[in-house]
Amino acid sequence: MAYNSLQDFVQVLERSGDLKRIQHPLRAELEITEVADRVMKSGGPALLFENVVDKKMPVLINAFGSMKRMALALGVDNVETVAAEIARLIQTRPPRSFKEKLAIMSELVKLAGIPPKLVKEGACQEVIEREPDLGILPVLTCWPGDAGPFITLPMVFSKDPRSGTRNVGLYRMQVFDQRTTGMHWHLHKVGARHFEQQRENSGRLPLAVCLGGDPAMIYAATAPLPPQIDEVLFTGFLRKKAVELVKAVSVDIEVPANADIVIEGYVDPAEPLRREGPFGDHTGFYSLADDYPVFHVTCITRRQKPIYPATIVGRPPMEDAYLGKATERIFLPLLRVTLPEIVDMNLPVHGVFHNLAVVAIKKEYPAHARKVMHALWGLGQMMFTKILIIVDHDVNVQDLAEVTWVVGNHIDPKRDAVFVEGPVDVLDHAAPLLGYGSKVGIDATRKWPSEGFERDWPPAIVMDEKTKQRIDSIWSKLGL
């Protein structure tokens, strides 16, 4: 299912019983966060705040705050459906005929995505503000220690200054005043790379910040896609329909025609960086203030009746947990292309995704777990994983009680811990240097004689099937 607007998604959420409209007046400063935080932690619905004090736009929050709503956002019954489709497209056997070769090529084209369609006009430009004022937006001040209001769900469109290749990233933006914000892209992000390339070329880097529209596009902006994969094409794959793009008014960038709000502008590499933050982050701690580029607003376009989408992050579980879990499931088949021995993976919510990963593998040779550790640390955003636990294929990694039991019993800390140094997430406040620190891999697989383990490895305690069936047959008679 492809949504034509964020309003369409709101209506679907409401029909499914997953939306609550809040008409009581609430302030964008702290009050909406406190309501949303309570609802998120209790597993509650999406919230549409229709009466934000001193603002005319409603605020949508927690729209992705369950696996059911993630599935609705992507137009499927279950996010595993998307994962299964990716697995089907990439698990192709060698063609036996020219006809089969054409069929396989057709399937792989689907995985690449559906090219966008350029249109002359879009709903995102029903109103054009050439004298822009960010004050019209109900931007949230989320936590008491935040440096100010932050735009928290922006899709930032940029172009590679050399090749013109598009990127869409999600980077928080602290609002400094009516026409400037921070642009908080970490040094590992593609947007930051575009910024540095623009510095080499001189001149300004144009940007377009899009809010709302099809939720599949919002998700794609969060997805850990390789730089060579276009988020707009990936969105076409997800929604099974081309994304319509329209030329921005004041910058040379194409934006989704169905967006609710588009903030156009630029960053100038020749301009000094500006102190941004602190910000209450998804780790559950404040990310400290640091220097980032200043985004200058040149124009704001919007729908006649836009919805302002937002999220809050903080001590988990929060709404972003479900965006992350959807990514875990959707990208697992792609991970298996490089590492087919991986059976399953769990990025626990309270591990805030880059602090802890548990991976089950089909172990085939000595030190196999260590090979998988180093391979994962070399793959995209998996390089940030601070604690990586490898278990055998028969361990249910989604059951953290089972994982804890197995790890506690299976490891010898000195033998089975692997320490490495390298890039870590910029938000890792425990790292000795910004973006650089240590990581640990834990091999919790059963140890083999070929790995130097000379003792017998004991089997787990399991009752025999005959006895279990016997007790099953008389269970109702036991009064238990």
Q: Distance between CA 323 and CA 282 in Å, rounded? A: 12
Q: Give DSSP secondary structure letters for 220-251.
A: HHHS---TTS-HHHHHHHHHTSPPEEEE-SSS
Are 101 and 243 contacting, i.e. CB atoms less than 8 angstroms apart? no
Q: In one letter, which amino acid is 262?
A: V
Q: Where do we find the tokens 């036991």?
A: 478
Distance separating alpha carbons of residues 287 and 281, to the nearest angstrom: 6
Residue 232 CB: number of other CB atoms within 10 A? 23
**Strand arrangement, sheet containing 46-49:** 19-22, 46-49, 59-61, 308-309
Establish whether the linkage from the previous residue to 317 is cis, with ω within 30° of 0. Answer: yes
Residues 137, 395: Cα–Cα separation, whole Å:
48
Peptide bond connecting 278 to the previous residue in cis, omega within 30 degrees of 0 = yes
Locate 33 and state its tokens. Answer: 């966060």
User: β-strand 356-361 against 387-392: which pairing, if any?
Assistant: parallel
Bridge-based pairing state of the strands 173-174 and 117-119 = unpaired
H or E segment at 209? strand 205-211
What would the two tokens of residue 238 be?
């997800």
Check: CB of residue 25 under 8 Å from CB of residue 53: yes
- Catalytic residue numbers, as ranges: 281
> Pairing between strand 274-276 and 261-267?
unpaired
Residue 426 burial class via C-beta count within 10 angstroms: exposed 0-12, middle 13-18, buried 19 and up: buried
- For the chain, what's the residue count? 480
